[in-house]
């Protein structure tokens, strides 16, 4: 922000402070995730079939089914299932 504008005088400080806070959070986040490793076996175990619902809808679309109909078909398949 350059130049003078009376309209931004009150907001300039909080905006700059917000950027400083965000920069600090990004540094913390990068440290947290730097050495994080996912256990592929455990991840695969907890993936329920419903996770792939969008993929299944797009498979139907590739076969010529209109997206709205494909979405409804896949949705009906999982309508009665409870989440665990």
Residues of the domain holding 71: 38-84
> Are 55 and 30 found together in one domain?
no
> Are 32 and 1 found together in one domain?
yes
**Cα–chain center distance at 2:** 35
- φ/ψ region of 21 (left if φ > 0, alpha if ψ in -120 to 50, else beta) reads alpha
> Are 55 and 82 found together in one domain?
yes
Residue-wise pLDDT for 6-48, tens only, equals 677 788 889 999 999 999 999 998 888 888 889 999 998 888 8
Instruction: Tally the domains of the chain.
Output: 2
CA distance 19 to 24: 9
> Are 29 and 50 found together in one domain?
no
CA distance 75 to 59: 14
> Are 21 and 49 found together in one domain?
no
CA distance 15 to 51: 39
Residue-wise pLDDT for 40-82, tens only, equals 999 988 888 888 899 999 999 999 999 999 999 999 988 876 4
């Amino acid at each position: 922000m350059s130049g003078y504008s009376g309209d931004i005088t009150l907001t300039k400080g909080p905006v700059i402070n917000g950027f400083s806070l965000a920069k600090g959070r990004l540094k913390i986040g990068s440290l947290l995730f730097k050495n994080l490793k996912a256990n592929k076996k455990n991840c695969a175990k907890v993936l329920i079939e419903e996770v792939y619902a969008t993929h299944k809808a797009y498979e139907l679309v590739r076969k010529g089914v209109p997206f709205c109909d494909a979405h409804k078909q896949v949705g009906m398949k999982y309508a009665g299932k409870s989440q665990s």
